[in-house]
Amino acid sequence: MPEPATTAGATPASATPSSAIPDHVEHRIALPDGRTLALAEWGDPHGLPVLAIHGTPGGRISWWGPDPSIDARHGLRRFSLDRPGYGESTRQPGRRVVDLVADLVTVADTLGLGRFAVTGGSGGGPHALALAALLPERVLRCLAVVSVAPIGPDGLAEEAWLDGMTEGNVLEFRAAMAGEAEIRALCEAERGTILARLADGRSDILGDAYELAEQDRTQMARHSVPMGAQMAHALAPGVDGWVDDDLALVQPWGFDVAAIEVPVRLSYGRADTLVPAAHGDWLASAIPGAAAEVSEVGHMGDDADVERHRAWLAGAWA
């Protein structure tokens, strides 16, 4: 794939270790405070820019397994990233959800991106919504897939926020509420499980306390190669990113979703045990004009969703 016209801080895609990863362009963006943010660029180098924000845990190595050309087919120039502390991005201790906005403004300015679409899934959903709320002059549209809702006075009450979550997530977020020492110990144990199961070629990489819907287990098996590559790269340096994500999600996010003015589409499922549908319902009621796409599936969605979502991000599907 040819490199885009502007490749500030780019490094060759061959720097990534796995031959299974499709061709893409790697970028390393220097941030004003001295940190580095790692990004991967996929799709049409002349297409509509899309900032894609991964879940918790997750990282920049992210492609659509059945058809890696999907971004190019839809005319999208998709940038995925390692949030601070994941993969090759420098940690930012104490970060809030809103803090990613300044990082991605620097990214967009450095790469010469004017206006762009944003998308985020699961723990990445709040970060995508932050961009939509604070950058209405630059964000064209925002897709939030199985996004977490705020907790506390600005969102769902604690018990309602946790209600319906699988035991693993309840334990994880209660540990985050207890503080960094508790959530770090849990994430380190779970990282060991994930990496060990990946080494054994298993697709059920989450710990046994994370019980999923049958459809989600099927999706994880179907997409085990890209999912495994993403997790292996994201968690290679440790759990700092995961720890900081969980701490940020259970604190005030630093912005008001009711202030969002750009088009927002929410996609979530009634069978989701990681982020229960009550989160999506709350966001749908709180974000002005948000369109909700609600299915009966779980956290991983289904393959048809991916085509629809790319089309919507490209502005070709309403």
The CATH number that applies at residue 247 is 3.40.50.1820
Task: Give a yes or no: residue 152 inside a domain.
Answer: yes
- What pLDDT sits at residue 185? 98
pLDDT on residue 12: 33
Mean pLDDT of 157-181: 98
Does the structure show a pLDDT above 80 at 16? no
Please report the pLDDT score of residue 316 as a whole number: 72
> Does residue 2 belong to any structural domain of this protein?
no
Look up the pTM and report it: 0.94
Q: Residue 44: its pLDDT value, please?
A: 97
Mean predicted lDDT score pLDDT of the chain: 93
Q: Is residue 4 part of a domain?
A: no
Q: How open is the CA angle 21-24-30, to the nearest 5 degrees?
A: 115
Whole-number pLDDT of residue 18: 59
Kindly state whether residue 148 falls inside one of the protein's structural domains: yes
Q: Is pLDDT of 189 > 80?
A: yes
| pLDDT at position 253 over 80 | yes
291 lies in some domain: yes
Establish if 31 belongs to a structural domain.
yes
Calculate mean pLDDT across residues 278-305: 96
Q: Which domain holds residue 124?
A: 10-313
Strands ordered across the beta sheet of 116-121: 10-11, 25-30, 36-43, 76-81, 48-53, 116-121, 139-145, 264-269, 291-295
Nearest to 226 by CA among 40, 44, 50: 40
With a CB cutoff of 8 Å and minimum separation 6, the contacts of 17 are: none
Per-residue pLDDT at 13 exceeds 60:
no
pLDDT per residue over 215-247, tens digit each? Answer: 999 999 999 999 999 999 999 999 999 999 999
b/e string for 27-51 if b means 16 or more Cβ within 10 A?
bebebeeeeebbbbbbbbbebbbbb
- The count of domains in the chain is 1
Question: Is position 318 within any domain?
Answer: no
Taking residues 96-124, what's their average pLDDT? Answer: 98
Q: Retrieve residue 41's tokens.
A: 């660029």
Alpha carbon 306 to its chain's center: 14
Confidence class for position 167, pLDDT limits 50, 70, 90: very high
Residue 62 pLDDT? 96
Residue 19 pLDDT grade (very low, low, confident, very high; cuts 50, 70, 90): low
Query: Is 72 a member of any domain?
Result: yes
Per-residue pLDDT at 5 = 32
